[in-house]
Structure 1
Amino acid sequence: MGKPLLYEIWEKPASSCIIGICTAIWFYIQKKNIGYASVGLSYETAVEGHYWRIITSAFSHISMLHLVFNMSALWSLGVVEQLGYIGLGVEFYLHYTLVLVMLSGLLVLGVYHILIQKFKLEYFRRVTAVGYSCVVFGWMTVLAAKQPSSKLNLFGFLSLPISFAPFESLIFTSIIVPQASFIGHLSGIIVGYCIAWDLIHGMSNYWAISMLGWIILVFFLSLKRSGAFDLNFIEIESVTDSSLPTVGFLASGNGRTLQMDIFTGGGAELV
């Protein structure tokens, strides 16, 4: 018999929290009937200053199957939290989850920029990426490099050798799910190898908290500037250098109203 669920949750606290957050966001999106274009990441919206979409796109999913597949893989990869004896563990998991979310999103935008500007593939201007797969593929890659003898269990019955799982899953999802984002998944793999090979290293509690603080600041400032939400408690005032906004907090008003964005000519990519 397997371990009790509560015991496994105790062993994988960070993974369990992220799964809970993604599930809650999915229910909220379904309840409010929010379209993927309103929360997803695209080159066009990033150029317009919607930097907050790097975060919302990662934690949003557009279907139950999409959510279940990603969360099932993430649950299996939670074993990273139990490998403190080889330099991984809960802190490592939390620190580099931040890195994976941010860098994989930025790498996707960088690839889109090259495809649009150098190869004139305008299709990628409006392609909208949604999902946590970039991070899932990143952790899959880290585990493949650090613990190649491990297994990746999906849905409780499909087991893959972790050493081949990143590229097996990349090819499998690209064939089986036409909307799967090859660029997004590959970006997660690249960032994962950078972490596993210590090309990105040195994260500590100080740097993680500092990064989180900057992410939150940019998230709310870009939300305010983009006008996607009515954030009345944040005021951005003009200063001598208009490129350097100041932030003030107003005593009145705390309503938040979602403004739906409609895109034409683009499509959704599941990540």
Structure 2
Amino acid sequence: MTSPTDRPIRIGVQLQPQHAPRYSHLRDALRRCEDIGVDVAFNWDHFFPLYGDPDGPHYECWTMLGAWAEQTSRIEIGALVSCNSYRNPELLADMARTVDHISGGRLLLGIGSGWKKKDYDEYGYEFGTAGSRLDDLAEAMPRIEARLGKLNPQPLRDIPILIGGGGERKTLRLVAEYADIWHSFSDRDSYPRKAEILARHCADVGRDPAVIERAAEAKGSGLDSLLEEADALTGLGISMLTVGVNGPDYDLTQAEALCRWRDRRA
């Protein structure tokens, strides 16, 4: 059985689909990600910018993933993360299967319960509570799995499920039950506790926690501190390190440094 520390290190870049006045900015950034050796390119599933001008330019998640699937040939793609509230679970499964085929089997299905109230209000979704949104996600996961099993043609592979979040009672239980990849959104200080709680949930559902790939964002004020953080996170068993970059420039300096660091370690 593969343990977390045995996994190859992977570098992910979240190309935040905001503040780019033309889609070509994102298309160029994705091309550069593939050229420098990034392993996974993510976007996010929101309808308005999360920071900067709240009414600035912004693009939709899944339409973009379909374009990314055609544009690329090696890199994996996905949302970090797709909001369960915005699409019927069966429809989301069908969308994921379709993008999986367009990409030749390179989609990661990232999913979470949602949190941005403006998205819900402006697009007419019921916001509910954090608890109700997590309950909705728990109801959606078996429906997504069931629909993926019924689609014709079938996905090209068992599409990896990435669940994002660190809620100790509900989110980590869903990670234990369904996730192939857990993006904890935690740092070196908070991760060990979250991982211990996840292990307990895995024991409750009869699953080996080592089968779940661990992901976290690498942050640093400069490249030296970024790589020091990367060393610390991977020392804890995290094998996918992500960085977020914002439009319109999509500066990949940190991503390129992490790719070189990954290759030196390999």
Q: Which TM bucket (shorter chain)?
A: under 0.3
Q: Which has the higher strand share?
A: 2
Greater Cα radius of gyration, structure 1 or 2: 1
TM-score (ref. length: structure 1): 0.22
The structure whose residues are more often helix, as a share, is 1
When normalised by structure 2's length, the TM-score is 0.23
